[in-house]
Amino acid sequence: MRPTTLASQSALLNPAVLYTTLLVLGLVAPFTLYPTFLMKVLCFALFASAFNLLLGFAGLLSFGHAAFLGSAGYVCGLMMRDVGVTPELGILAGTVVAGLMGWLFGTLAIRRTGIYFAMITLALAQMVYFLVLQIKATGGEDGLQGVPRGHLFGLIDLSNNMAMYYTVYAVFCLGFFIIYRTIHSPFGQILKAIRENEPRAISLGYDVDKFKLLAFAISAALSGTAGATKTLVFQLASLSDVHWHMSGEVVLMTLLGGLGTILGPAVGGATIVTIENQLAESVGSWVTVIMGAIFVACVLLFRRGIVGEIQALLKRAGMQ
Amino acid sequence: MSDFILETVDLTKEFKGFAAVSDVNLKIRRGHIHALIGPNGAGKTTVFNLLTKFLPPTRGTIRFEGKDITHEAPAATARRGLVRSFQISATFPHLTVMENVRIGLQRKLGTAFHFWRSDKSLDVLNDRAMALLEDVDLAGFADTVTGEMPYGRKRALEIATTLALEPTMMLLDEPTQGMGQEDIARVVDLIRKVSANRTILMVEHNLSVVANLCDRITVLQRGSMLAEGSYDEVSKNPQVLEAYVGSDDMADAHH
Ligand SMILES: Nc1ncnc2c1ncn2[C@@H]1O[C@H](COP(=O)(O)OP(=O)(O)OP(=O)(O)O)[C@@H](O)[C@H]1O
Ligand SMILES: [Mg+2]
């Protein structure tokens, strides 16, 4: 029962055509671009999409999502290196631990709103950061090194970069589908209602805190999936992934791509990773300044983000 | 079962020492349309917030269908069948009109937490939602994005969404506020229609609406109950007349 606008009739905006095109692009991409770069893009695209599920669809600004990305990376790394499990189990372990952490963070933070919610998540994430820094097993400042990629299901050797790429791609597609499904589910409908008018949702009998908590846990778990996968790719769980910088960066990715749009955060994640990759060598630490400038431009000039602005343009074109 | 569906005993709410509601003893008879009137700032909305648990009372108890609900969570009270509307129209502006009503219907499906299920599974609610929209003359707007509708229509949608819960008792906070004559007539008819088999407590400034709709009236002034009775009794009460003299409400009421 969705309204069909003129714009959505144009071929590119037809979801089936659009998603099929993107799916094929993802399959052929490693033949023209560096697989390692692409894998990094996919990990951050998934991370930002998971973050957007919380901010864009539940209206909750977490400033502690690095804790889920980073911790899952360490859990996966330790499981792979020291326990010797297969990669899919490593990723699963990271996902489950991040989901449980999300449940815990959420339970503590969800009764607060706005800035207080953000501050509690930040404080909890900082505690995780210091724990990771202090514990011996996590390698302190050096991070967790020498993580083997292992054999997927005990069969496929992931030290082959192409095999690794398609594994990451499959993980991304699955994670993205879970997010897409969550947004377009009965649960997603209630989440949108809460975001639009929380008192009204309460007055209709919904225990809004429970819905927010589930959204938080799903978002944290999938952030963990991204972090665990990233550890496999780089064979390293890095301290910077638990640092609050990372919590800020995912906000930037989401805003840049388009808050509350489905593809936006993935686009934003890809854009930021690309910019960082291109600029890291030529401008060094000025990259931080450039990121700051992008952030300001984003908030002041195009609040809808890349995908949001494109959608608005197409809509306007469609109406004429 | 008691004749009174909702009772309060010494219900009091203080904000930093200021008593917005003090010692209110309401008794709402089952099946009645009961009005809560009073000048601006009398505490009417605060009473609604207390009854629906959006605010905790400083003192006093609330009994709904014989059960003490004073310390219940607001969503739990709603699920019990005591459902409110808001003074400022409360819809989900970016959802379609149909989706708004479905939010009200959805809880009964028991799938509200099912994040793995497609939202197409909600289409089974469409017939019921459409019937509710027809009841409030909104069938033609089903696919409209709610925020794009005129104000009067939004208020009608709010009532349809509330009705989706099949509440035993509805609390309406100024359902005709900001409406023209035509919309007011429509809403009055609507309230009369939906009052069959349920109890309604409504805040209303428009006294002609109160006069021809309500069975019983409670007058609130500076947080306290000033009078209670039928419209004829209350409108002859000298204290009530005095409270309304010179106030804008009385002027409004005689439009
Ligand atoms: N959350 C709050 N904190 C402090 N004071 C409040 C709060 N809510 C209401 N009040 C005060 O309590 C008094 C009663 O307010 P309330 O909104 O209940 O009045 P009302 O009868 O609904 O008025 P109106 O006809 O204007 O809607 C007012 O003086 C108001 O300023
Ligand atoms: Mg009021």
Domain boundaries, chain A: 28-243
Q: Is B100 in the pocket of ligand 1 (CB under 6 A)?
A: no
Distance CA B192, CA B197 (A): 11
Establish if A181 touches chain B: CB-CB under 8 angstroms.
Answer: yes
Residue B253 in contact with residue B208, Cβ under 8 Å? yes
Cα pseudo-dihedral A313, A315, A319, A320, rounded to 10? 20
pLDDT of res. A120: 93
Q: Give the DSSP H/E element, type plus range, for residue B133.
A: helix B126-135
Average pLDDT over residues A135-140: 81
pLDDT by residue (tens digit) across B221-238?
999 988 888 888 888 888
Q: Do B75 and A206 touch (CB under 8 A)?
A: yes
Q: A128 versus A151: which is more confidently predicted?
A: A128
- Contacts with A133 (C-beta within 8 Å, 6 or more apart), sequence order: A140, A141, A239
Protein residues placing their CB within 5 Å of the ion ligand 2: B 44-45, 87
Average pLDDT over residues B1-16: 89
Ligand nearest to the CA of B39: 1
pLDDT of res. A11: 56
Chain B residues with CB-CB distance to A178 below 8 A: 116
Please calculate the CA angle B84-B199-A201 and round it to the nearest 5 degrees.
Answer: 20
Q: By three-state DSSP, how is residue A245 classified?
A: helix
Establish if A285 touches chain B: CB-CB under 8 angstroms.
Answer: no
Residue B214 has pLDDT above 70, yes or no: yes
Looking at the DSSP bridge assignments, the partners of residue A123 are none
Average pLDDT over residues A164-179: 96
Residue A41 has pLDDT above 90, yes or no: yes
Phi, psi of B247 (to 5 degrees): -80, 150
Distance CA A149, CA A229 (A): 10
With cut-offs at 50, 70 and 90, classify the pLDDT of residue A12. Answer: low
Q: A2 versus A53: which is more confidently predicted?
A: A53
Q: Which residue of A has its CA nearest to B142?
A: A1
Measure A200 CA to nearest chain B CA, in Å.
Answer: 6
DSSP B254: T
Average pLDDT over residues A79-90: 92
With cut-offs at 50, 70 and 90, classify the pLDDT of residue B251. Answer: very low
Q: How far is CA A286 from CA A293, B83, B177, in A?
A: 11, 57, 57
Measure B247 CA to nearest chain A CA, in Å.
Answer: 31
For ligand 1, atom 5, name the residue with the nearest CA: B15
pLDDT of res. A13: 63
With cut-offs at 50, 70 and 90, classify the pLDDT of residue B240. Answer: confident
Measure A300 CA to nearest chain B CA, in Å.
Answer: 23
Q: Which residue of B has its CA nearest to A212?
A: B113
Q: Is B77 in the pocket of ligand 1 (CB under 6 A)?
A: no
With cut-offs at 50, 70 and 90, classify the pLDDT of residue A5. Answer: very low
Residue A282 has pLDDT above 90, yes or no: no
Q: Within 10 Å of residue A211's Cβ, how many Cβ atoms?
A: 22
Phi, psi of B201 (to 5 degrees): -115, 125
Residue A8 has pLDDT above 90, yes or no: no
Average pLDDT over residues A280-301: 81
Residue A132 in contact with residue A74, Cβ under 8 Å? yes
Distance CA A308, CA A82 (A): 44
With cut-offs at 50, 70 and 90, classify the pLDDT of residue B95. Answer: very high
Average pLDDT over residues A80-96: 93
Region of poorest pLDDT, from A60-64, A153-157, A189-193, B50-54: A153-157
With cut-offs at 50, 70 and 90, classify the pLDDT of residue A158. Answer: confident
Ligand 1 centroid to Cα of residue B46, in Å, is 6
Interface test with B, best of A111, A177, A204, A209 (most B CBs within 10 A): A204
pLDDT of res. A254: 93
Maximum separation of any 2 CA atoms in chain B, in Å: 63
Percent of chain A with pLDDT over 70: 95
pLDDT of res. A43: 95
Amino acid (1-letter code) at residue A284: G
Chain B residues with CB-CB distance to A203 below 8 A: 52, 54, 74, 78, 83-86, 90
Chain A residues with CB-CB distance to B162 below 8 A: 204
Q: Is B44 in the pocket of ligand 1 (CB under 6 A)?
A: yes
Measure A184 CA to nearest chain B CA, in Å.
Answer: 5
Residue A226 has pLDDT above 90, yes or no: yes
Please name which of B80, B82, B62, B84 lies closest in space to residue B71, comparing C-alpha atoms: B62
- Contacts with B61 (C-beta within 8 Å, 6 or more apart), sequence order: B8, B9, B10, B11, B68, B70
Residue B121 has pLDDT above 80, yes or no: yes
Which atom of ligand 1 has the smallest separation from the CA of B47?
18
pLDDT of res. A284: 74
Select the highest-mean-pLDDT range: A221-225, A289-293, B83-87: A221-225
Which atom of ligand 1 has the smallest separation from the CA of B48?
18
pLDDT by residue (tens digit) across B147-156?
999 888 888 8
Q: A301: buried, middle or exposed (CB in 10 Å: 19+, 13-18, 0-12)?
A: exposed
pLDDT of res. A294: 83
ipTM over 0.95: no
Q: Is B46 in the pocket of ligand 1 (CB under 6 A)?
A: yes
Please name which of B64, B84, B81 lies closest in space to residue B4, comparing C-alpha atoms: B64
Q: Is B24 in the pocket of ligand 1 (CB under 6 A)?
A: no
Q: How far is CA B248 from CA A1, B61, B217, in A?
A: 45, 33, 19
Q: Within 10 Å of residue A196's Cβ, how many Cβ atoms?
A: 20
Which residue among A178, A184, A186 sits closest to B112, beta carbon to beta carbon? A186
Ligand 2 centroid to Cα of residue A152, in Å, is 63
Q: By three-state DSSP, how is residue A215 classified?
A: helix
Average pLDDT over residues A110-116: 87
pLDDT by residue (tens digit) across B126-163?
999 999 999 888 999 999 999 999 888 888 899 999 99
Maximum separation of any 2 CA atoms in chain A, in Å: 63
Chain A residues with CB-CB distance to B132 below 8 A: none
Ligand 1 centroid to Cα of residue B42, in Å, is 7
pLDDT of res. A127: 94
For ligand 1, atom 6, name the residue with the nearest CA: B15
Region of poorest pLDDT, from A184-188, B93-97, B231-235: B231-235
Chain A residues with CB-CB distance to B74 below 8 A: 202-203
pTM greater than the 0.95 cutoff? no
Chain A residues with CB-CB distance to B144 below 8 A: 3
With cut-offs at 50, 70 and 90, classify the pLDDT of residue A71. Answer: very high
Ligand 1 centroid to Cα of residue B185, in Å, is 28
Residue B202 in contact with residue B191, Cβ under 8 Å? yes
Average pLDDT over residues B215-221: 92
Q: By three-state DSSP, how is residue B227 classified?
A: strand
Distance CA A111, CA A25 (A): 42
Please calculate the CA angle A85-A89-A94 and round it to the nearest 5 degrees.
Answer: 110
Residue B131 in contact with residue B142, Cβ under 8 Å? no
With cut-offs at 50, 70 and 90, classify the pLDDT of residue A60. Answer: very high
Establish if A202 touches chain B: CB-CB under 8 angstroms.
Answer: yes
Residue A68 in contact with residue A230, Cβ under 8 Å? no
